[in-house]
């Protein structure tokens, strides 16, 4: 049975990710299947909208997508498998296709939504979360960076929340995802099956899209300290200054955040901070091209004479998902030892502009440009002011993302058996 199941019911194309044992982690075959069906439906006048969900071991819904298959990344990097290059080129192309899709695309983000799962949902016209949603971009845990357009959509979060989420991999619940501008509406997970079945009815999609005005339904998971403190710390000029600000704060939230950052690759923390701040001024296409350059350097860090097992990313995957010793050997080991000469080459393209694998993204498509303008307008209207963010997000200063930093949740234990961030 295919890992991507598709059908057309009435005017709606329905996609079900069907790799539940791996929490629907994306393989190259799945990326290709998704791209193929979306391109076919884009030109099919009988398909007026698209909806996507994920299967869990308990049935439909319960797990959207845990990301890309990091075991494949590890094996391919060590073997020099060219499909690793194909995966990222085709995945990022798929992300752009979804962001610029000319028909309503509805993502039902129930359960785990991480990494590559964000890439196939953030560009949706309607992003539905539930009380079971666990959303994150936790790539820094494996010495990677928030890709699949993460630089673009995280940098559009209010204030310096994007830097915080990108660097820490903080998990969000459904209500917090809406408040942060990374989802549009929160529904009860028990209501999704009937909603899915009803999409084929005339007028159902239009009625559902109207719910984008409904706002969050539910309470914050208490995932962060005050928005003011996040801005004060993560708005600093560089990583060393961010750490100093956290140390000086002394709050429980700041100390928990410091503990998380100290488990991450110092080199990649510097790279990720630079990524988010560059992406804030970029188009989506330019951001994806930059991320394609970056991911090549993550696996082939030629400027540091590190490839294969020597790269930060392969080492991070080894420690987390292969040997599972949770003791990566980062190099350099300290933030203070990272120099600009180590960081800036990650942003140098290994290809001339005309030969870039994503050279054609965003060219000559006015409809796509309008879709991206709509995304920006929606993001800014969701959070008109930083003070609103602070009032609606919990300020209970609970410890930062214990599930991310320690991977104690059962869902994460399942994910680490062979999938990704």
The predicted-structure confidence for 281-317, as pLDDT tens digits, reads as follows: 999 999 999 999 999 999 999 999 998 899 999 999 9
Q: Which of 110, 147, 184, 287 is catalytic?
A: 147
**Sorting pLDDT into bands at 50, 70 and 90, what band is 74?**
very high
pLDDT of residue 406: 27
Instruction: Estimate to the nearest angstrom the gap between the alpha carbon of 10 and the chain centroid.
Output: 31
CA distances from 202 to 11, 44, 49, 206 (A): 8, 18, 12, 9
Between CA 388 and CA 407 the distance in angstroms is 31
Residue 325's pLDDT band (cuts 50, 70, 90): very high
Task: Assess whether pLDDT exceeds 70 at residue 149.
Answer: yes
Q: How many CA atoms lie within 13 A of 76 on its CB side?
A: 20
What integer is the mean pLDDT of 23-51? 98
pLDDT tops 60 at residue 175: yes
| Of 98, 96, 93, nearest in space to 126 by CA | 98
Residues 6+ apart with CB under 8 A from 182: 118, 122, 127, 135, 153, 157, 172
On the question of pLDDT at 43 being above 50, the answer is: yes
375-382 CB contacts, 8 Å cutoff, 24+ apart: 375/99, 375/123, 376/156, 378/181, 378/184, 378/212, 379/153, 379/156, 379/157, 379/181, 380/156, 382/178, 382/181, 382/184
In 169-307, DSSP assigns E strands to 185-186, 300-301, 306-307
Angle made by CA atoms 374, 380, 384, in degrees to the nearest 5: 145
Look at residue 250 in the predicted model and tell me its pLDDT. Answer: 86
**Strand stretches in 209-330, DSSP E:** 300-301, 306-307
Distance in Å from the first CA to the final CA of the chain = 24
- Among 68, 117, 123, 225, which one carries the catalytic annotation? 68
Q: Which residue is it, tokens 């009803």?
A: 198
So where are the chain's domains? 4-415
Give me the pLDDT at residue 403, please.
30
pLDDT grade, residue 125 (50/70/90)?
A: very high
Tell me what pLDDT residue 307 has: 87
pLDDT of residue 384: 39
Average pLDDT of span 205-224: 66
68 is catalytic: yes
- Tokens 């080991």 identify what position? 333
Mean pLDDT of 239-261: 96
Residue 77 near residue 41 (C-beta atoms within 8 A)? no
Give the pLDDT band of residue 369 (cuts 50, 70, 90). low
Structure confidence at residue 1 (pLDDT): 73
Assess whether the previous peptide bond of 332 is cis (omega < 30° from 0): yes
CA dist., res. 167 & res. 169, Å (int): 6
In this predicted structure, what is the pLDDT of residue 394?
A: 35
Strands (E), 39-80: 49-56, 59-60
Is residue 404 within 8 A of residue 169, CB to CB? The reply is yes
Residue matched to tokens 């040997």 = 323
How many angstroms separate the CA atoms of 163 and 277, rounded?
A: 8
Residue 175 and residue 129: Cα distance in Å, rounded? 8
Give the percent of the chain with pLDDT over 70. 82
**Rounded average pLDDT over 217-235:** 74
CB atoms within 10 A of CB 340: 10
Q: 3, 69, 139, 229: which one is catalytic?
A: 139
Count of H-run helices and E-run strands, the chain? 20, 11
Active-site residue identified among 67, 111, 116, 181 = 116
pLDDT at 241: 98
What pLDDT, on a 0 to 100 scale, did the predictor assign at position 389?
A: 36
> What average pLDDT does range 215-243 have in this prediction?
79
CATH code matching the domain that covers 4-415, chosen among 2.60.120.200, 3.40.50.300, 3.30.460.10, 3.90.226.10:
3.90.226.10
């Amino acid at each position: 049975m295919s890992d991507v199941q598709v059908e057309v019911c009435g005017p709606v194309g329905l996609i079900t990710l069907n790799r539940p044992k791996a929490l629907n982690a994306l393989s190259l075959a799945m990326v290709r299947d998704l791209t193929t069906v979306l391109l076919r439906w884009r030109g099919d006048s009988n398909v007026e909208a698209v909806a996507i969900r994920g299967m869990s071991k308990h049935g439909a819904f319960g797990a959207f997508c845990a990301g890309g298959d990091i075991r494949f990344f590890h094996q391919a990097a060590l073997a020099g498998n060219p499909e690793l290059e194909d995966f990222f080129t085709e995945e990022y192309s798929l992300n752009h296709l979804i962001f610029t899709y000319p028909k309503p695309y509805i993502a039902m983000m129930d359960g785990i939504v991480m990494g590559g799962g964000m890439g196939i949902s953030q560009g949706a016209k309607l992003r539905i979360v539930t009380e079971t949603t666990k959303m994150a971009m936790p790539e820094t845990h494996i010495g990677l960076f928030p890709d699949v357009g993460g630089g673009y959509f995280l940098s559009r979060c209010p204030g310096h929340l994007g830097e915080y989420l990108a660097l820490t991999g903080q998990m969000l619940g459904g209500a917090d995802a809406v408040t942060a501008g990374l989802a549009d509406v929160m529904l009860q997970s028990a209501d999704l099956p009937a909603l899915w079945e009803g999409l084929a009815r005339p007028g159902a999609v239009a009625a559902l899209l109207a719910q984008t005005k409904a706002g969050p339904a539910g309470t914050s998971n208490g995932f962060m300290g005050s928005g003011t403190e996040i801005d004060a710390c993560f708005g600093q000029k560089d990583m060393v200054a961010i750490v100093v600000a956290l140390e000086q704060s002394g709050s429980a939230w700041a100390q928990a955040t410091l503990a998380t950052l100290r488990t991450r690759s110092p080199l990649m923390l510097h790279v990720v901070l630079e990524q988010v701040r560059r992406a804030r001024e970029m188009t989506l296409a330019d951001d994806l091209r930059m991320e394609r350059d970056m991911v090549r350097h993550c696996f082939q860090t030629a400027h540091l004479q590190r490839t294969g097992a020597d790269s930060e990313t392969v080492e991070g995957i080894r420690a987390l998902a292969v040997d599972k010793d949770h003791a990566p050997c980062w190099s350099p080991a300290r933030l203070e030892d990272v120099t600009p000469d180590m960081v800036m080459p990650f942003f140098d393209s290994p290809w001339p502009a005309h030969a870039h694998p994503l050279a054609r993204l965003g060219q000559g498509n006015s409809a796509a440009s309008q879709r991206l303008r709509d995304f920006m307008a929606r993001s800014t209207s969701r959070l008109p002011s930083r003070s609103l963010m602070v009032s609606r997000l919990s300020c209970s200063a609970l410890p930062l993302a214990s599930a991310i930093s320690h991977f104690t949740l059962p869902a994460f234990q399942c994910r680490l058996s062979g999938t990704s961030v």
